[in-house]
Amino acid sequence: MIIVPEREIAWLVSDADCFAAVERVFASMAKKSASNLPVVREAIGHLDAIYGVKSGIDREGLVLGLKSGGFWPNNVSRGLTNHQSTIMLFNADTGECRAVVGANLLTALRTAAASAISIKYLSRPDSKVLGIIGAGHQSTFQLKAALQQRAFEKVVGWNIVPQHLARLETVAAEHGLPFERVDLDTLGAQADVIITITSSFDPILRAGQVRPGTHLACMGTDTKGKQEVDARLLANATVFTDEVAQAVTMGETQHAVAEGLVDASAIIAIGAVINGDHSGRVSAEEITLFDGTGVALQDLAVASVAVERAVATGVATTIAF
Ligand code: NAD
């Protein structure tokens, strides 16, 4: 069994590796050659932690495994990130445990890859202004990955605690771009692409604040009850997602479906766009929205890359099991 510790991930796996691995597995999911299995996500009744298991099988790449972990809200006071997770990969032919991989950084990278993929396939090619709502742990990864996809000229940001936007200002400056702290009306009026990456349980962005032609990547809502945009804004958009079953139950789409504004049959798997089976954006006036719920197969895809690289570079620890 191979062990790839968390500390090795940063130099083993690049943003581009994660983008390619996630793009490939989204395509596989749409072709039904890869499946995510039912998700377990529960409050454990200890320290307000939420614990879960996400698992899946990619029959094309023969990747079988799970990601286990969750959210421990008091971790910051211990000098740890609140999200903690570990990936296990199994031999798809025998069920033997093949690898254990630290998955904290991989989670951020695969989540950023998903919204970047949505920007590549769904945003207007002439997009110039990137808006970002949220300035927590995931936000800098989101910003870095998004900036690779279009020739953005400016970043505008909003966060409920404005001081936290400083970390996004730093990333924008590293890319030679101006950053403006703005209110939500200004953000919606200026941005061609908007990423939402908060842990909000109430809509932040309203339908009237977003102009035609905008692409939204809603990445924060990964649990029942969370919400980042008004259900009417989602209902006005063409909605794409990683996994329709998750989008309608625990993704941003859950609210519009519950209110009867959107039917699950209208939600498009982004893999269908990657495969060329759906045309994606059809006009410069259309609002497109990617509901990135986060699926196991993203985790397994990037963990497989980490394992391959760890073996190739000799940093993998191998133990008899
Ligand atoms: P974090 O705790 O570091 O940051 C949370 C952010 O949300 C902060 O900017 C905070 O100011 C903001 N926020 C909190 N409550 C808010 C409210 N009521 N209104 C507006 N903003 C509010 O969390 P993080 O690690 O950056 O994760 C952000 C979100 O992304 C979480 O909901 C997390 O579960 C989710 N997430 C999704 C995926 C996925 O695949 N879709 C993967 C990882 C994390």
Q: Which domains does the chain have, with CATH numbers?
A: 2-107+297-318 (3.30.1780.10), 121-294 (3.40.50.720)
CB 147 within 8 A of CB 177: yes
Sort 219 into a burial class: Cβ within 10 Å, 0-12 / 13-18 / 19+. buried
Q: Is the pLDDT of residue 81 over 90?
A: no
Q: Which position among 54, 67, 144, 226 bears the catalytic label?
A: 67
Q: How many helices (H) and strands (E) does the chain have?
A: 11, 16
CB 122 within 8 A of CB 146: no
Beta-bridge partner residues of 43: 50
Instruction: Quick: pLDDT tens for 128-163.
Output: 999 999 999 999 999 999 999 999 999 999 999 999
Cα torsion angle, 24, 29, 34, 39, sign: positive
> How close is the Cα of 109 to the center of ligand 1, in Å?
15
> How close is the Cα of 261 to the center of ligand 1, in Å?
25
Ligand 1 within 6 A of 220 CB?
Answer: yes
Extract the tokens encoding 234.
């989602």
Instruction: Locate all alpha helices (DSSP H) within 154-289, ordered by sequence.
Output: 166-174, 184-190, 231-236, 244-250, 253-258, 270-274
Please, how many CA atoms are within 13 Å of residue 203, restricted to the half-sphere of its CB?
Answer: 16
Closest CA to 112 of 290, 281, 231, 272: 290
pLDDT range class, residue 82, cuts 50, 70, 90: confident
Contacts of 265 (CB under 8 A, 6+ apart): none
Q: Pocket of ligand 1, candidates 109, 159, 199: which has the most ligand atoms within 8 Å of its Cβ, to mutate?
A: 199
pTM of the predicted structure, to 2 decimals: 0.96
CB 99 within 8 A of CB 303: yes
Helix-strand-coil split of the chain, %, nearest 5: 40, 25, 40
Indicate if ipTM > 0.95.
yes
Q: Whose CA is nearest to atom 31 of ligand 1?
A: 199
Q: What is the mean pLDDT of residues 289-310?
A: 97
CB 256 within 8 A of CB 263: no
* Ligand 1 nearest-atom number relative to CA 135: 9
Q: 15-30 and 296-313 are packed helices; what angle lies between their axes, rounded to 10 degrees?
A: 130
Tell me if residue 67 is catalytic. yes
Ligand 1 within 6 A of 83 CB?
Answer: yes
Instruction: Quick: pLDDT tens for 98-137.
Output: 999 999 999 999 999 999 999 999 999 999 999 999 999 9
